[in-house]
Chains A and B, each alone.
Chain A
Amino acid sequence: MKHLSPKNLKARFATEWLEGGGAARATADDPGPHYPSGCTTIFSPGWEVDATGGTAALCQPMERDLYDCYKTCYWPAQVPDYLNNSPDWHKNCAAATQDWREIDLVFP
């Protein structure tokens, strides 16, 4: 190592290990396990809580989850049938985080 210099015994031990071949395992082309950044990979934040147990600090507003249920993927059944009967179900809700109260029931 050139930029770091091990000082205590634990660091010296680890450095010897790394320089003896461990380094190849730890840093080279091994991509390692996949860890998602931000929220979990399968949910947008609507169903989760932030570190304080609330929803204010989620990386996306929780209301965004509404539109993740619409078109992009998950549970189309949770929103009205936008293909045939209710293509305009969300017309009063341009920005989910502000306008979600404007969404009403639909009656086919």
Chain B
Amino acid sequence: MSVPTPSQTLVEATQMHRFHGGERNYAFLVPSSMIFELDETSERVLDRLAGGPRPPAEVVESPEEEAALRELAGVGAVARQGTPLIPLGGLQEVDGPPPIRTVVLNITNSCNLACRYCYEYGDDRIAEAEVPAAMTEETARQSVDRLITDSGEAKDLQVTFFGGETLLNWRVIRPTVEYAREAAQQAGKRVDFSLTTNATLLTREISQWIADNGIGVTISVDGDKQFQDSMRVYRSGMGSYDVIAPRIAEFLKLQKRPVGARVTVTSKNLDVPRIFEHLIGLGFYEVGFAPVTSSPDQDYALGEDGFDELLDQFRGLADNYVEAATEGRYLGFSNLSDLLGEIHEGVSKAYPCGAGLGLVGVAPGGEVGLCHRFAGSGDHDLGHVATGISEEKRAEHLKKAHIDARTDCSQCWVRSLCSGGCYHEAQVRYGDRFRPNLHYCDWIRDWTALGLSAYGRILDRNPQFLARFEGMLQAARQTP
């Protein structure tokens, strides 16, 4: 039996992802999400540890290297063998869940389109059928009151209108915005609004009102006529492109706030460059791509090959993004911007998203769910806007969803950015919202590596470009 003596103490490199940008070398540390540029000496020290733990004497051969080893140890990139990782945690120990800052109002469950992949209407819906189709003004007001009551010390609040097609319930949106402004002002808070629409019902009057009131808008659209009409159809089967194109053109001309397009990518429209070019050409500021949520047996599902192809296309667009950033221009590829923003800040998430954390969804009848995708599904309800949101249920959700509770994620180097992925995806895929979305782990790792590579190249060529994310993040952080 041999007991290790201090002289036998081994050191090891902790979990990290190393990447390049131009001639420079970087390390992304896990789980702190810190990024350091490595010089040749620190590179050499880390290279010697690549094969596993070694005695410090074998790792450093000069005082210079010893200094580098100390620096690496200081930032947690090297540690004594067996040093337990610092858990990401924290929030579980806080008294009760954090304040709610955002409500997403499912202002209506009705839609004038019948998109084939829709989780509200398609094969993968989880919300129950008997909920009322449209939210009343009364329920919307109660939701606003609930937000203001449950927001604690938070000053900046967000109300998002979602659907169904939100504009089918236009007559509730307008008075709710007015009511929320007044109520927030009385409570000494500020409130910002956003809505998502399929653009079919945008009139000049609505577009003007949205512009005048500074409402943030995302338009769901799948690309040019061929792509849009293959999935985003009316009940009759008629495509919607010819209806939305002139409305979008008029709408975008009126807006002062940048407007984003949200594209659902399926096997039927898997051509990111073509879609991007078309939508930026229409005047959108940003385009975000979301792979369709579906069970794998749908014909429009992105299979494994589809996901690989999507990543290749994202890679091409990321190259363009870096080119533009090098010249100080912004290319509106919002997936990459979001990732770069998180990388630049160094976020280390205990939860994949804000659902149940600072955000809740409200169904048309007033039932509160984790987010808009869960609102109205009885099993996942957190309460009702009229009677209150269950702190216990939120706390229980947060405990189970915490990254430290997800053993599948414990060895993954992107866990501090991914945190297991979308609860709704997991519910659809595995029937359990707490399961990490194991079907796209490899993809998320590759995508994150792609983001780090873009980050490294921008650092190399035009680091000032990254300052834009600092302002954005401060604005988005909404500190109380």
Interface residues of chain A, those whose CB is within 8 Å of chain B, are 1-11, 13-15, 18, 23, 26-27, 31-32, 35-38, 41, 44, 68, 72-73
Contacts and interface: CB of A to CB of B under 8 A. Distances in A.
B74 A26 contact: yes
A3 B41 CA distance: 7
Contacts of B71: 1-4
B82 A7 contact: no
Contacts, number: 96
A79 B351 CA distance: 52
A36 B42 contact: no
Nearest to A65: B1
In this complex, which of A5, A31, A41, A72 has the most chain B Cβ atoms within 10 angstroms of its Cβ?
A: A5
B34 A11 contact: yes
B68 interface: yes
Contact of B345 (A1, A3, A10, A14): A10
B8 interface: yes
A8 B80 contact: no
Contact of A9 (B37, B83, B346): B346
B3 A4 contact: no
- In the A-B complex, the 3 residue pairs with the closest CB atoms: A10-B346, A11-B34, A3-B68
Given A2-B71, A38-B4, A8 B37 contact: no
Given A3-B41, A26-B73, A37 B36 contact: no
A27 B73 contact: yes
A6 B3 contact: no
Given A5-B39, A23-B74, 9 more contacts: A3-B41, A4-B71, A6-B34, A7-B459, A8-B344, A10-B34, A10-B347, A11-B346, A41-B3
A8 B35 contact: yes
26 contacts: A1-B74, A3-B38, A3-B39, A3-B42, A3-B72, A4-B36, A4-B39, A4-B75, A5-B37, A7-B35, A7-B459, A8-B35, A8-B344, A8-B345, A8-B455, A9-B344, A10-B346, A10-B348, A13-B346, A14-B34, A18-B74, A26-B74, A32-B80, A37-B10, A37-B81, A37-B82
B9 interface: yes
Given A7-B37, A44-B1, A14 B32 contact: yes
Interface of B: 1, 3-4, 6, 8-10, 26, 32-39, 41-42, 53, 67-68, 70-75, 77, 80-84, 343-348, 455, 459, 470
B39 A35 contact: no
B82 to A, nearest CB: 4
Contacts of A3: 38-39, 41-42, 67-68, 71-72
A41 B80 CA distance: 16
Contacts of A73: 1
B36 A10 contact: no
A50 B287 CA distance: 48
Contacts of A4: 36-39, 42, 68, 71-72, 75, 77
A35 B83 contact: yes
A9 B74 contact: no
B463 to A, nearest CB: 8
A6 B27 CA distance: 10
Nearest to B470: A9
B35 A11 contact: yes
B470 A72 contact: no
Nearest to B32: A10
A7 to B, nearest CB: 4
Contacts of A7: 26, 35-37, 459
Nearest to A31: B6
B96 to A, nearest CB: 27
Nearest to B39: A3
In this complex, which of A13, A27, A44, A73 has the most chain B Cβ atoms within 10 angstroms of its Cβ?
A: A27
A96 to B, nearest CB: 13
A8 B456 CA distance: 11
Contacts of B39: 2-5
A1 B9 CA distance: 25
Nearest to B340: A8
A8 B416 CA distance: 15
A6 B35 CA distance: 6
A47 to B, nearest CB: 13
A73 B37 CA distance: 50
Contact of B74 (A27, A36, A37, A41): A27
